[in-house]
Amino acid sequence: MATYDFIFDGLGLRNWCGSSADDGGMTSMAQLLAQTSGGDVEVSPWETPFPSMDALHDACPSFPQSRELTSGLEQGFLAIKDSLKVVVDPLTQPLSWALNEALWVMQAVPWFVMIPLLMLVAWAVSRQMKLVGLVVICFGFLGFVDYYTYTMQTLAIIFVCAVTCVLLGVPIGIAMSRSDRVQRIMIPILDMLQTLPPFVYLIPLIFLFSVTEPKLYGIAIILYAIVPVVRLTDLGIRLVDPDVIEAADAFGMTKRQKLFNVQIPLALPNIMAGVNQTIMMSLAMVVIASLVSAPGLGVLVLRGIRSLELGVGLLSGLGIVLLAIILDRVTKAALARINVSQSR
């Protein structure tokens, strides 16, 4: 006798259930012991199993098992895969083009042009010679240990994915700040994206796209990294002083004028903080995306894990840390300059 027979007997569903699971199918350990001893084995209340799908299936063979649920989800996804790909593939193709072009440019430009260009960008953003020196030291070290190409590949992916996150995330954050209904809809979605394990992003994408397509890892990185810029854009605009908004209304500004001339400039520090976090999360996801052919330093980390090459893994991990430090310092320097300009 199964533990939960009383549920189906009490509901009058025994005819629907058919014969008890004890009469056929897989035999449980309790049933084997009962057959051996010639009687029923009593299960103590302490060992009562949770009323899961499999436990209920033991009492009612017609009740589905958990493997039928997972199999049904898989079959359902595969059934709509082709239709979904027809819609998603053209929309995401520009991402593949952007990634391919960025990877080509970052590798085609020689190091004696690229490194001074990066130094110039660091100076233009921060006006700090210390930061420029940090860029020289980090990229010089990575080039010295023959990791320059991998670093440029990682930087190209980060650039494309971070820019895409900003282009998509800032408008979404603005829409959330202007409508409580949109915010209520988006918050559960953002919570899911923020808490879902990174590897889970890759599972449905592998079925939709070829492993050789850059958009496979590009979409995974964007989904993982877009949350901070959306949340902080919404927060920054909502935190704008109501008195400032009232003054803008008094001057007769339209909603568009208030948004671009008042709200966004005042929310820029929060938006830039979101951009900083998005870049950091993109860099973290690049390593995981190497599992699906994403080039860059993540490939070396994966090589160190697979081949147990401790030196390769540690050195490539150090390269990622150095790249993260540079990107973090550059974005924070830009944020500091924005704060200074607004305080004047």
What are 173-196's pLDDT values in tens digits? 999 999 999 999 999 999 998 888
DSSP-assigned letters across all residues of 51-103: --HHHHHHH-TTSPPHHHHHHHHHHHHHHHHHHHHHHHHHHHHHHHHHHHHHH
- In the numeric block, which tokens belong to residue 85? 């790909």
pLDDT band at 199 (very low <50, low <70, confident <90, very high): confident
Residue 329 and residue 122: Cα distance in Å, rounded? 9
Residue among 167, 132, 140 nearest 330 (CA): 132
Summarize pLDDT for 31-44 with one digit per residue, the tens.
555 555 554 556 56
In sequence order, what are the residues at sequence separation of 6 or more whose Cβ sits closer than 8 angstroms to the Cβ of residue 103?
A: 153, 156, 157, 214, 295
Residue 51 and residue 329: Cα distance in Å, rounded? 53
Looking at 26-40, 139-153, 242-256, 329-343, which range is the least confident one? 26-40
Q: Are 31 and 22 in contact (CB under 8 A)?
A: yes
- In the numeric block, which tokens belong to residue 69? 């649920």
Question: What is the model's pLDDT at position 57?
Answer: 86
* Amino acid at the residue 250: A
Residue 247 and residue 23: Cα distance in Å, rounded? 79
Residue 96 and residue 81: Cα distance in Å, rounded? 20
**HEC-encoded secondary structure of 261-319:** HHHHHHHHHHHHHHHHHHHHHHHHHHHHHHHHCCCCHHHHHHHHHHCCCHHHHHHHHHH
Summarize pLDDT for 295-312 with one digit per residue, the tens.
989 899 988 988 888 889
As a whole number, the mean pLDDT across the chain is 85
* Amino acid at the residue 296: G
Q: Are 98 and 106 in contact (CB under 8 A)?
A: no
Domain range list for the chain:
5-64, 79-343
Residue among 58, 53, 56 nearest 23 (CA): 58
Question: What is the model's pLDDT at position 36?
Answer: 56
Distances in Å between the alpha carbon of 161 and those of 29, 151, 171, 258? 53, 15, 16, 29
- pLDDT for residue 200 is more than 90: no
In sequence order, what are the residues at sequence separation of 6 or more whose Cβ sits closer than 8 angstroms to the Cβ of residue 159?
A: 102
Residue among 73, 53, 69 nearest 61 (CA): 53
Q: Are 136 and 89 in contact (CB under 8 A)?
A: no
Q: Are 290 and 282 in contact (CB under 8 A)?
A: no
Q: Tell whether the torsion through CA atoms of 60, 61, 67 and 71 is positive or negative.
A: negative
- In the numeric block, which tokens belong to residue 213? 């397509």
- pLDDT for residue 18 is more than 90: no
- pLDDT for residue 158 is more than 90: yes
- pLDDT for residue 19 is more than 70: no
Q: Are 235 and 115 in contact (CB under 8 A)?
A: no
Q: What are phi and psi of 105, to 5 degrees?
A: -65, -45
Summarize pLDDT for 90-108 with one digit per residue, the tens.
888 899 999 999 999 999 9
Helix, strand or coil, per DSSP, at residue 42? coil
Looking at 102-116, 177-191, 255-269, which range is the least confident one? 255-269
pTM, whole model, 2 decimals?
0.82
Q: How far apart are the first and last CA of the chain?
A: 80
Q: Are 2 and 20 in contact (CB under 8 A)?
A: yes
Give the burial string for 196-232 (b: 16+ CB within 10 Å, else e): eebeebbeebeebbeeebbbbbbbbbbbbbbbbbbbb
Question: What is the model's pLDDT at position 21?
Answer: 43
Question: What is the model's pLDDT at position 133?
Answer: 93
- In the numeric block, which tokens belong to residue 182? 């949109």
Q: Is the domain 79-343 a CATH 3.30.70.260 member?
A: no
